[in-house]
């Protein structure tokens, strides 16, 4: 199946790229493994992006993004991409269901949230150990909730979880939280907060639910088990770029280098959003990257890329 342009990933970067490319008359195929919206579609609260609604949730943001893609005439297929061949003039993209070809490809498949590689975590995945406060937080109402991480995303999700938590415990390995004051100020005023700085969660135990947690102090090295049956842990310790699909590209610390047109080192191959080398990873920068990639991919194709 031949398309003008294939975009991998329907987060803010891929969706923005698709909307711009379609507006230039291209037949655009947008491939997504999970759901339109990407990472931001899964957060409890969207902040900072210009013109968001008051109390914008990830879900409401993703719903509007989806509607905008439909209105733009973008073909969205919920198919995970498994393999690509990008070096030849005609690019090949294989999903679990189909093989597609296109004159140009935009890589916008972001990153995957890190899980904690500690004893017990894999057993309790989804049964005490969680990555999505918006989806799973309420199920723990009345129990103690633990958030691992100290950056913006972690503290923002901790603020959301506080409403369900008997006690909210924030565990961060450094001596200070690294989140912005907009999030740390209200956090520090929560009556049910226990802040555990210079501390790591080093193991969890339980069979079908969490029963106890092992905490280790970074300064003293001392550790202790803490009984907490039915508690929930939410992990926000960064993410890893989804670049394993692209062995043909030379990466920089796992991210894809691009120039200001979002071109990679391979002709006709663009990268946009969190997956590329950049300083600020936010919706605003992902959407901007997508616009630039979509416009330049369209110009590339319309200037006579191979049929
Ligand atoms: C907890 C948290 C809260 C945040 N809050 C904010 C905020 O309030 N405001 C803000 O501006 N930024 C926020 N961010 C950052 C923001 O979410 C990201 O910068 C943004 O989502 C990046 O967009 P993206 O399109 O590059 O990647 P992503 O949003 O990661 O989208 C990539 C998409 O590609 C898909 N994909 C991956 N692999 C494949 C594959 N093989 N085949 C097909 N599809 C694939 C994924 O399923 C995903 O839908 C937050 C981040 C976190 C972790």
Residues 233, 144 contacting (CB under 8 angstroms): no
Instruction: List the residue whose alpha carbon is closest to atom 38 of ligand 1.
Output: 109
Ligand 1 centroid to residue 42 C-alpha, Å:
9
Query: Which of 145, 144, 200 shows the shortest CA–CA distance to 172?
Result: 200
- pLDDT tens digit sequence for 187-212: 999 999 999 999 999 999 999 999 99
- pLDDT tens digit sequence for 124-176: 999 999 999 999 999 999 999 999 999 999 999 999 999 999 999 999 999 99
Which ligand 1 atom minimizes the distance to the CA of 15? 25
- Domains by residue range for the chain, with CATH: 2-113+239-302 (3.50.50.60), 129-235 (3.50.50.60)
Residues with CB under 6 A from ligand 1: 8-14, 31-34, 38-40, 43, 46-49, 80-81, 108-111, 153, 156-157, 236, 242, 245, 273-274, 281-284, 286
Residue 24 pLDDT > 80: yes
Query: What is the pTM assigned to this prediction?
Result: 0.97
Residues 56, 46 contacting (CB under 8 angstroms): yes
Ligand 1 centroid to residue 306 C-alpha, Å:
31
Beta-carbon contacts of 254 under 8 Å, excluding residues fewer than 6 positions away, are 240, 241, 243
Q: What is the pLDDT of residue 80?
A: 98
Phi, psi at 122, each rounded to 5°: -65, -40
Distance separating alpha carbons of residues 121 and 128, to the nearest angstrom: 9
Residue 256 pLDDT > 70: yes
Average pLDDT on 232-249 reads 98
In this structure, is the dihedral angle defined by the CA atoms of residues 255, 246, 95 and 76, taken in order, positive or negative?
Answer: positive
Residue 305 pLDDT > 90: no
Residue 238 pLDDT > 90: yes
Distance separating alpha carbons of residues 248 and 217, to the nearest angstrom: 42
Instruction: List the residue whose alpha carbon is closest to atom 26 of ligand 1.
Output: 273
Residue 307 pLDDT > 60: no
The best mutation among 10, 40, 105 to test binding of ligand 1, ranked by most ligand atoms within 8 Å of the C-beta, falls on 40
Average pLDDT on 242-252 reads 98
Ligand 1 centroid to residue 111 C-alpha, Å:
7
Torsion, Cα 146 151 155 156, to 10 degrees, reads -130
Q: With cut-offs at 50, 70 and 90, classify the pLDDT of residue 306.
A: low
Mean pLDDT of the chain: 97
Q: What is the pLDDT of residue 223?
A: 97
Distance separating alpha carbons of residues 39 and 113, to the nearest angstrom: 9
Average pLDDT on 224-240 reads 98
Query: Which of 49, 117, 121 shows the shortest CA–CA distance to 283?
Result: 49
Instruction: List the residue whose alpha carbon is closest to atom 1 of ligand 1.
Output: 153
Q: What is the pLDDT of residue 231?
A: 98
- pLDDT tens digit sequence for 78-136: 999 999 999 999 999 999 999 999 999 999 999 999 999 999 999 999 999 999 999 99
Which ligand 1 atom minimizes the distance to the CA of 14? 25
Beta-carbon contacts of 23 under 8 Å, excluding residues fewer than 6 positions away, are 72
Which ligand 1 atom minimizes the distance to the CA of 39? 29
The best mutation among 278, 283, 293, 294 to test binding of ligand 1, ranked by most ligand atoms within 8 Å of the C-beta, falls on 283
Phi, psi at 107, each rounded to 5°: -95, 110
Residue 228 pLDDT > 70: yes
Which residues, listed in sequence order, are joined to residue 217 by a DSSP beta bridge? 199
Ligand 1 centroid to residue 8 C-alpha, Å:
12
Q: With cut-offs at 50, 70 and 90, classify the pLDDT of residue 1.
A: confident
């Amino acid at each position: 199946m031949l398309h003008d342009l294939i975009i991998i990933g329907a987060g803010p970067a891929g969706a923005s790229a698709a909307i711009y490319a379609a507006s230039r008359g291209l037949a655009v195929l947008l491939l997504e493994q999970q759901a339109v919206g990407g990472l931001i579609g899964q957060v409890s609260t969207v902040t900072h992006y210009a013109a968001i609604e008051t109390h914008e949730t990830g879900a409401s943001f993703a719903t509007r993004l989806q509607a905008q893609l439909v209105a733009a005439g973008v073909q969205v297929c919920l198919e995970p991409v498994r393999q690509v061949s990008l070096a030849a003039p005609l690019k090949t993209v294989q999903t679990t269901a189909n093989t597609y070809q296109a004159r140009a490809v935009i890589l916008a498949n972001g990153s995957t949230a890190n899980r904690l590689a500690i004893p017990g975590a894999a057993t309790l995945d989804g049964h005490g150990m969680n990555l999505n406060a918006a989806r799973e937080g309420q199920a723990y109402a009345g129990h103690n909730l633990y958030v691992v991480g100290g950056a913006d995303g972690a503290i923002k999700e901790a603020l959301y979880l506080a409403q369900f938590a008997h006690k909210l415990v924030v565990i961060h390995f450094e001596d200070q939280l690294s989140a912005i004051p907009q999030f740390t100020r209200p956090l520090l005023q929560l009556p049910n907060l226990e802040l555990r700085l210079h501390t790591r969660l080093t193991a969890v135990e339980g069979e079908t639910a969490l029963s106890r947690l092992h905490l280790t102090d970074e300064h003293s090295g001392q550790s202790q088990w803490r009984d907490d049956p039915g508690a929930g842990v939410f992990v926000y310790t960064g993410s890893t770029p989804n670049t394993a699909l692209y062995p043909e590209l030379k990466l920089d610390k796992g991210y894809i280098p691009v120039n200001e047109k979002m071109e990679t080192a391979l002709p006709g191959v663009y990268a946009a959003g969190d997956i590329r080398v950049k300083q600020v990873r936010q919706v605003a920068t992902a959407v901007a990257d997508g616009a630039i990639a979509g416009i330049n991919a369209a110009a590339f194709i319309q200037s006579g890329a191979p049929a």
